[in-house]
């Protein structure tokens, strides 16, 4: 089984200028996909049966806040962004997860003894693509 260090991961966004750029100061990211289970049980069945329904997904990322980072500035609630998530790196053959996401929330915060952070929640718009870096 292959394992990967989280420190090899990254997230890239298509910026307002149209170029792909790496999100700076990334601490962690997640992408979650789900499928609805639609019940098909009918009278006379002795166990419930289901078929796959609609799929959906969400994403999130946590970063150290950098107000000068142009990519972080593109994370605006209500905007759609094209995202690429990388777990093992960005070399040819590495896996990438990509899709268009609606930014549903952006949270900025600070503590007395910590570094200011930015947390972003995303809603997948359409399907997630799982591919490899070319």
Task: Supply the range of the domain harboring residue 52.
Answer: 6-132
Distance CA 130, CA 110 (A): 34
Lookup: tokens for 64: 């150290």
Give the CA-trace dihedral at 24, 18, 131, 36, to 10 degrees.
Answer: 90
Tally of domains in the chain: 1
Quick check: helix, strand or coil at residue 98? strand
What is the average pLDDT value for the chain, to the nearest integer? 94
Q: pTM here?
A: 0.90
Residue 12 domain-assigned (yes or no): yes
Residue 69 domain-assigned (yes or no): yes
3-class secondary structure for 43-97? CCCCCCCEEEEEEEEEEEEEEECCCCCHHHHCCCCCCEEEEEEECCCCCCCCEEE
Residue 53 domain-assigned (yes or no): yes
24-74 per-position pLDDT tens digit: 999 999 999 999 999 999 999 999 999 999 999 999 999 999 999 989 999
Q: Which helix (H) or strand (E) holds 126?
A: strand 117-132
Residue 18 domain-assigned (yes or no): yes
Residue 15 domain-assigned (yes or no): yes
Are the C-beta atoms of residues 29 and 59 closer than 8 Å to each other? Answer: yes
- What φ, ψ does residue 48 adopt, rounded to 5°? -70, 145
Q: What average pLDDT does range 111-127 have in this prediction?
A: 97
Q: Kindly report the CATH number assigned to the domain that includes residue 78.
A: 4.10.410
Residue 1 domain-assigned (yes or no): no
What's the pLDDT score for residue 3? 84
């Amino acid at each position: 089984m292959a394992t990967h260090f989280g420190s090899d991961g990254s997230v890239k966004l298509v910026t307002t200028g149209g170029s792909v750029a790496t999100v700076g100061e990334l601490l962690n990211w997640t992408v979650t996909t789900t499928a609805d289970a639609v019940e098909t049980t009918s009278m006379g069945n002795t166990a419930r049966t289901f078929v796959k329904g609609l799929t959906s997904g969400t994403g999130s990322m946590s970063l150290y806040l950098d107000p000068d980072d142009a990519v972080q500035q593109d994370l605006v609630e209500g905007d759609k962004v094209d995202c690429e998530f990388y777990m093992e790196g960005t070399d040819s053959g590495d896996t990438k997860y990509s899709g268009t996401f609606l930014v549903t929330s952006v949270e900025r915060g600070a503590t007395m003894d910590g570094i200011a952070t930015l947390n972003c929640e995303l809603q997948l718009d359409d399907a997630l693509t799982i591919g490899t870096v070319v």
